[in-house]
Each structure stands twice: as C-alpha cells, then as structure tokens.
C-alpha cells in the first residue's frame, strides 16, 4: 500500500530529483497546488496569478521510507526562511509549503518544523506553511523528471 505526500520548495525540477533518489519512493510528479484556478498551466502559474505553488507529489511505500524521511529531504533541499522565493526564483509559486493528506502527516510536519526552528539552524523565521492537500494539478509532460531527461543532477546554481 502506498501513500501520497506533497511539498513546495521552489522550482519543482530539483526538488523532484531529490525525492526520486529515496528508496521506497514509487513515483513522483511535478505540478501545482494551493491556488484558486482550476487546471492551471505553467504559464498561468509563472505569471503569479493563480495562487498555486510549484510542488512535487510523492507516492511512497511507508514500509520502505518513513514520512519523516521525506520531511528531511524537503528541509534539506531548500531554504525555508525565504518567503515566496528560492534563490533567483521569485513569486508565490516558489513558496515553501507542506501539503498534508492526513492528520498524521500534519502532526509529523508540525513536529518537524518546530524541531528545525528549535535547532537554531536559521537566524530568520521559518516561513513554511503546513496546509491540507488541495487538488493536485499535474504539470505539463515536459516538466516531469526534467533534470533526469536532460542528464542533469541538479539545477542549483554554483556557489
């Protein structure tokens, strides 16, 4: 039996690649969640008019990978103190968000976020939202496994 999880952590290409490396992740899909427009396109979302976040929806086997492990990847692959941006990408579509499918996921996400805050790792506030998962709109096919299709390991800019 598999479960779903969804995370917004900036541009979805690199986030998807990070989750695909985990044993127990069965499938990933990039798309849009949390907005007010039905069936948005990438162009709609990039215009910052729909209210959607770029997200990765993960289907995973909880017998092989714990939701807490998914949360660790989420926190590690972006800066949760950046409001409506990640690196050079700016707009509400790049916000940091955890979309939960159950009360157990919500509790785990809140506990994980508080542990990160308590760790003192960041000097700025953690602005990640934790919200019930709304409708997931799958992004266009050319966005799916974007980096993998191009033989790239990541889309991060060199430091």
Domains of the chain: 3-149 (3.30.1060.10)
pLDDT of residue 157: 43
3-state secondary structure 84-149: CEECCEECHHHCEEEEECCHHHHHHHHHHHHHHHHHCCCCCCCCCEEEECCCCEECCHHHCCHHHH
Is position 77 annotated as part of the catalytic site?
no
Give the active site residue among 11, 46, 77, 155. Answer: 11
Percent of residues, the chain, with pLDDT higher than 70: 89
How do residues 61-112 score in pLDDT, each as one tens digit?
999 999 999 999 999 999 999 999 998 889 999 999 999 999 999 999 999 9
Summarize the confidence of residues 37-57 as an average pLDDT: 94
Instruction: Render 62-86 in DSSP notation, one character per residue.
Output: TTTS-HHHHHHHHHHTS-TT-TTEE
Does residue 140 or residue 40 have the better pLDDT?
40
């Amino acid at each position: 039996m598999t479960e779903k999880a969804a995370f917004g952590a900036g541009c979805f290409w690199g986030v998807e690649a990070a989750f695909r490396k985990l044993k127990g992740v069965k499938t990933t899909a990039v798309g849009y969640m949390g907005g007010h427009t039905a069936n948005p396109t990438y162009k709609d979302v990039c215009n910052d008019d729909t209210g959607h976040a770029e997200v990765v929806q993960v289907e995973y086997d909880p017998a092989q990978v714990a939701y807490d492990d998914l949360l660790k990847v989420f926190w590690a692959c972006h800066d949760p103190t950046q409001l409506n941006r990640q690196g050079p990408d700016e707009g509400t579509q790049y916000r940091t968000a955890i979309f939960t499918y159950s009360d157990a996921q919500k509790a785990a996400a809140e506990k994980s976020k508080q542990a990160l805050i308590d760790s003192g790792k960041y000097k700025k506030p953690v602005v990640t939202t934790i919200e019930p998962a709304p409708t997931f709109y799958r992004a266009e096919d050319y966005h799916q496994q974007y980096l993998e299709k191009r033989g790239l390991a990541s889309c991060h800019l060199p430091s």
